Structure 1
């Protein structure tokens, strides 16, 4: 087996001490069946990113995290990179102009969607009219916006075929964030719309019994946020396909911050994956590298090790440098940064050398802050099969000075 057993935690790749300490804390809190760390793991809020915790009858709002249903949609288009590269710079300009990137942004046009009539909005009505109206208005205003941090719209060239792929990465936006903070508040006896609790990175997970009223409400609200994230990624993908003048003939779509009710070893359990991609046998997923590295389409193997992984794999390359280490601290009064280890010039040279047309992005998303994707894929070679290798040719993200409160 390619994983290690470390004090009850199954660990793929090289153990990070901070993330491992968080995983061990999760393993010792609540009705835990198994705790795992994928090879791209690093510290997160309460549950490590790249961490998977399997519960018997419990669900964790802090484990799913603030960016509920963050995930990726990727499509293969009918375009070929060689023929479209002369227009690449112009197309990237149009993507940056037409798609809304950044914190708190609202869509340029209001998007009608059947999701706003979803019966699970009743969960928020049960919390209170003010809470329901505020979150629904926020959801309606932000559907189809991408956000900031490591959220993106990328164009890729497939190795071997030259086909152009499009991928996006984001979640349920402000609606998901307020849903998470709201239920974490309710679990602590606070008002739903109170400020998000002070984030102590290493605090124990917040747990709800799935059979309790609050646990059932959170589970339904989380699933609604999941459908909302899917709708947002679908909408953005449709826009980008239109900008490119392209059609899609294959699509891959999955969450990596979510809780699933699944059967493992003959037992119903709740699998909380934070920054981890589901990889059931035959299940297809997108795993993104940095803007100066490959991304891949993978398929879960029917193997003993994949079963041991509770059908989970990496969601990206994994950070090796924090945002502050890379970009320095931001003085929001002067709009100046200091103390960063990576300069904008270093980042731009690396991206240019890799052949990427970049729009937006700060040095905290530069290739230097991530592991090489192949390293973490190798650690999971017995659980997933790589189907398509994608090289980025266009990357569009929020600008360098966007504060990102959602972490990952």
Structure 2
């Protein structure tokens, strides 16, 4: 059950800095309701795990820089017994074949019909160079994963022993530049201007949905969503090919996005940053840490789910910042100092949990996240857990990668 703090509906344990951000969001624009899911923590402008429901408006700062970040998960036709002696080699191949890290281009150029989408007209409004360079960047990075908390994982389903594959990433540099450009426009700058330093606590940027900029942003965001879907589809196929497997079931959705949805008999814009849509019957993937279970869930028809505007968590939620966990980075020496978590602690925890790990720094270790079971407990009246997945292989970008394509 949730509690209400300064009109904000809050699930789980309230974090003061995130609640403060949510209150700021509630005081700007045509806001119907602001909500914090149980995995909430401070974000840029709108909290991660935050949901803001607008009447006729959309917020590019609310959607954030990693437009359409999300997950795809598939159940394969393989049983754990068929791969248990090959997991190390499989993870080596995943790390070798799939492009992780910042600014990376795909080793294999991916052709896709989305590059013929009419929505590319938007970028032509800002000049031929902007259009051509953004499309070229998008083509080169389609199917790359990035760094930060983005991953490609293997799981085993606890009740059946079947193998699952899941990934987590968004629209890469294309989405980041799209977000930056529209945030510039919202502040009266040109799309391609270099943005000044940003404050985490600044009020949300807003467009009226029926304005020219509002329509353009919605179309651009939708295109970035198609791009993210295409990238996650491609990466899942790569892993299935490595496994020699087929998908028998899939779940695919965004958690950094804005949707036009009907609630209480009226259409609203629901901006979810680090929050998963969870209407009755709708499936979702919710990831734990590399040392915790993940789950496939289904939204249920309950009053509490209606009160949540059919939203739920997207993960476990951080309890430790990246700098606190891994230390401060000296970019000249490429070394960190002062972190609370050591590599040895992370490696031991992962070994004990039975995970083959490739890449990742201590800022993504299990110690920096809440336990997913505790987070889900706060939402037990809004969802049903269908499948519980234990990670057996985790692949992420290497440590000390700085990713400008913010979550």
| C-alpha distance in 2 between matches for 1:3 and 1:276 | 15
Answer yes or no: is the 8 Å Cα contact 1:73–1:253 preserved in 2: yes
| C-alpha distance in 1 between matches for 2:276 and 2:351 | 30
Matched, 1:22 2:16: no
| C-alpha distance in 1 between matches for 2:294 and 2:170 | 19
| C-alpha distance in 1 between matches for 2:405 and 2:294 | 23
| C-alpha distance in 2 between matches for 1:285 and 1:197 | 36
Q: Deviations over 1:324-367 (max 9, x none)?
A: 00001110101110110000000000000000000000000000
Matched, 1:229 2:228: yes
Alignment correspondent of 1:36: 35
Q: Which runs of 4+ in 1 moved over 4 A?
A: none
Alignment correspondent of 1:75: 74
Answer yes or no: is the 8 Å Cα contact 2:176–2:406 preserved in 1: no
Structure 1 residues 179-328: aligned runs within 5 Å: 179-328=178-327
Specify whether residues 221 and 109 from structure 1 end up closer, same or farther in structure 2 by C-alpha distance, changes over 3 A only: same
| C-alpha distance in 2 between matches for 1:91 and 1:141 | 25
Alignment correspondent of 1:397: 396
| C-alpha distance in 2 between matches for 1:131 and 1:54 | 32
Alignment correspondent of 2:52: 53
Q: Deviations over 1:355-393 (max 9, x none)?
A: 000000000000000000001100000001000000000
Structure 1 residues 166-181: aligned runs within 5 Å: 166-181=165-180
Alignment correspondent of 2:387: 388
What secondary structure sits across from 1:145 in the alignment? coil
| C-alpha distance in 2 between matches for 1:382 and 1:345 | 39
| C-alpha distance in 2 between matches for 1:250 and 1:217 | 35
| C-alpha distance in 2 between matches for 1:262 and 1:86 | 47
Answer yes or no: is the 8 Å Cα contact 1:181–1:197 preserved in 2: no
Aligned length: 407
Alignment correspondent of 1:350: 349
| C-alpha distance in 1 between matches for 2:314 and 2:15 | 17
Instruction: Tell me which moved more, 81-90 or 59-68.
Output: 81-90
Alignment correspondent of 1:141: 140
Task: Give me the CA root mean square deviation.
Answer: 0.7
| C-alpha distance in 2 between matches for 1:179 and 1:72 | 20
Structure 1: gaps (5+ residues): none
Deviation at 1:407, TM superposition (A): 3.6
| C-alpha distance in 1 between matches for 2:108 and 2:245 | 22
